[in-house]
């Protein structure tokens, strides 16, 4: 293979012309012949035994050309790209320039763009101060307290707001029962607003064992159009009442729900966990602001295939996450009404930001002469191995050290930018 012509065009485009070595093509053509001869019938020869020149005489000299070119094209193009010193993005288009003498091919596509970025030192970004209030601790405690509440039967009074009423009911509109309007042994917390407005209010004051009508009007915007705005009567029976009895917030409670011996120790632990969560949120918001600022500073003509490819990466990640939950994209689309195209449109803005951010950080890594040691690369292989419970050697076989190095350099560049931000 030899590179004949290299041309970089507008908007990160390229044109390469390159030749295929005669001996390389000859081997590919022979391989194509051996593959195809088994399917070609020639009078006077047993199946698969017709000589190559006989087949070419019958079907034309170029009968094996397409298969042969397809066989040797990838290696020839890879060599041309290496000699040209470009990084190709997306899938190029190929054409045949000449088959006279030597075979000359042409590739047209896009390269990774040249990038300019300035003023990335001294970006102004605010990191939110972390503060945990007593109210937040009390709210967290209240949730744990509620999760550990016990239900107590009520037998000595009528139903009241806050009670859990166990009811049977059946709804009728104009005297006719309607679909979805019947339930038995249903637990309903009175005052929760879970049912149609006015329903729960009409249970308040009733006693266990009472049978009564609940008359309500469906809201005008009710999801079932055939019921919207209509009056309904629910034949209802109150089977039982319960109340939630919350445990006392004391040292015994702390021992029951945690590894701590006192409520004060448990509260301190809750405070620390809330603080950790807030620190992570603050750091994420701060980093997002820094990344947005970097993207705004980036100057580059980014080819469309980079955005398309990254969007497809996001779609694959989305599918993988769904599969971890026992779903797949087709099932998800059935539930949500989305399509593959609408999902792509939804993920596209994130993909565009990711492409721009990585280009910016890669350029900063070069400008600042950032480096990654072999020890850091080994440590990253170990981290991936531990995270996915896969042997390190298997990870090395799946991910090249150059890819690991590139990702680590991007991380180092982001750290450099964050270390050089100005807080406001």
Asked if 211 and 341 sit in the same domain, the reply is no
Q: How far apart are the first and last CA of the chain?
A: 58
Residues 194 and 278 in one domain: no
Inter-residue long-range contacts of 90-99, CB under 8 Å, 24+ positions, other chains counted: 90/303, 90/304, 90/305, 90/306, 90/308, 90/309, 91/305, 96/69, 97/17, 99/62, 99/65
Share of the chain above pLDDT 90, in %: 77
pLDDT reported for residue 409: 97
Return the structure tokens found at 225.
Answer: 């159009």
User: Domain check: are 310 and 417 in the same one?
Assistant: yes
- The CATH number given to whatever domain includes residue 364 is 1.10.3120.10
183: CATH: 3.10.50.40
Cα Rg of the chain (Å, integer)? 35
pLDDT of residue 424: 67
Is the same domain home to 210 and 87? no
Domain span including residue 42: 2-111
Residues 280 and 419 in one domain: yes
Residues 239 and 376 in one domain: no
What's this model's pTM, rounded to 2 decimal places?
0.73
Question: What CATH number should be reported for the domain holding residue 32?
Answer: 3.30.70.1050
Residues 299 and 365 in one domain: yes
How many C-beta neighbours within 10 Å does residue 307 have? 19
Contact of 111 with 122, CB cutoff 8 Å: no
Average pLDDT over residues 211-227: 92
Q: Quick one: 163 and 208 in the same domain?
A: yes
In this structure, the answer to whether residues 226 and 268 fall within a common structural domain is no
Choose the final residue of a domain: 211, 245, 279. 245
Convert 235-255 into a string of H (helix), E (strand) and C (coil).
EEEEEEEEEEECCCCCHHHHH
3-state class of 123 per DSSP? coil
Q: Is residue 118 situated within a structural domain?
A: no
End residue of a domain, out of 64, 94, 111: 111
Q: Summarize pLDDT for 142-185 with one digit per residue, the tens.
A: 999 999 999 999 999 999 999 999 999 999 999 999 988 999 99
Q: Considering the chain, what is the average pLDDT of its residues? A: 93
String of b and e for 310-323 (b: at least 16 CB within 10 Å)? bbeebbeebbeeee
d(CA 83, CA 49): 41
Contact 127, 423 (CB under 8 A): yes
**Same structural domain, 281 and 395:** yes
Within this chain, do residues 405 and 288 fall inside the same structural domain, yes or no? yes
* Among candidate residues 356, 343, 291, 339, the one with its CA nearest the CA of residue 314: 343
Counted domains in the chain:
3
Instruction: Identify whether 45 is part of a domain.
Output: yes
| End-of-domain residue from the set 60, 94, 111 | 111
């Amino acid at each position: 293979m030899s590179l004949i012509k290299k041309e970089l065009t507008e908007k990160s485009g390229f044109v390469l012309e390159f030749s295929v070595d005669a001996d390389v093509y000859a081997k590919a053509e022979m391989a194509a012949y051996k593959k195809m001869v088994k399917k070609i019938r020639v009078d006077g020869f047993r199946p698969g035994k017709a000589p190559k020149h006989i087949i070419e005489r019958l079907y034309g000299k170029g009968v094996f050309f397409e298969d042969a070119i397809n066989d040797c094209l990838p290696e020839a193009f890879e060599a041309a790209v290496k000699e040209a010193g470009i990084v190709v993005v997306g899938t190029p288009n190929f054409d045949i320039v000449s088959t006279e003498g030597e075979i000359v091919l042409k590739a047209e596509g896009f390269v990774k763009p040249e990038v300019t970025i300035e003023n990335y030192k001294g970006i102004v970004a605010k990191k939110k101060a972390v503060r945990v209030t007593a109210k937040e601790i009390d709210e967290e405690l209240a949730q744990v307290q509620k999760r550990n509440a016990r239900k107590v039967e009520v037998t000595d009074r009528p139903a009241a707001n806050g009670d859990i009423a166990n009811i049977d009911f059946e709804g009728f509109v104009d005297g006719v029962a309607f679909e979805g309007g019947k339930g038995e042994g249903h637990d309903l917390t009175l005052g929760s607003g879970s049912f149609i407005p006015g329903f729960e209010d009409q249970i308040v004051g009733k006693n266990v064992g009472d049978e009564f009508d609940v008359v309500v009007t469906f809201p005008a915007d009710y999801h079932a159009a055939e019921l919207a705005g209509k009056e309904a009567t629910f034949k209802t029976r109150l089977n039982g009442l319960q109340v939630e009895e919350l445990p006392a917030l004391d040292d015994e409670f702390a021992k029951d729900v945690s590894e701590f011996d006192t409520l004060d120790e448990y509260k301190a632990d809750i405070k620390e966990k809330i603080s950790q969560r807030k620190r992570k949120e603050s750091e994420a918001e701060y980093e997002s602001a820094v990344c947005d600022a970097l993207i705004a500073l980036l100057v580059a003509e980014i080819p469309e295939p980079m955005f398309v490819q990254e969007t497809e990466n996001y779609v694959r990640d989305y599918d993988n996450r769904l599969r971890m939950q026992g779903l797949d994209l087709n099932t998800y689309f059935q539930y949500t009404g989305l399509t593959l195209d609408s999902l792509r449109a939804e993920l596209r803005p994130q993909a565009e930001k990711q492409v721009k951010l990585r280009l910016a950080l890669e350029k900063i890594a070069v400008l600042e002469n950032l480096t990654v040691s072999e020890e850091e690369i080994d440590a990253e292989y170990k981290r991936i191995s531990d995270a996915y419970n896969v042997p390190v050697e298997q990870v090395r076989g799946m991910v090249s050290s150059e890819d690991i190095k590139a990702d680590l350099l991007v991380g180092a560049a982001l750290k450099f930018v964050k270390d050089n931000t100005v807080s406001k």
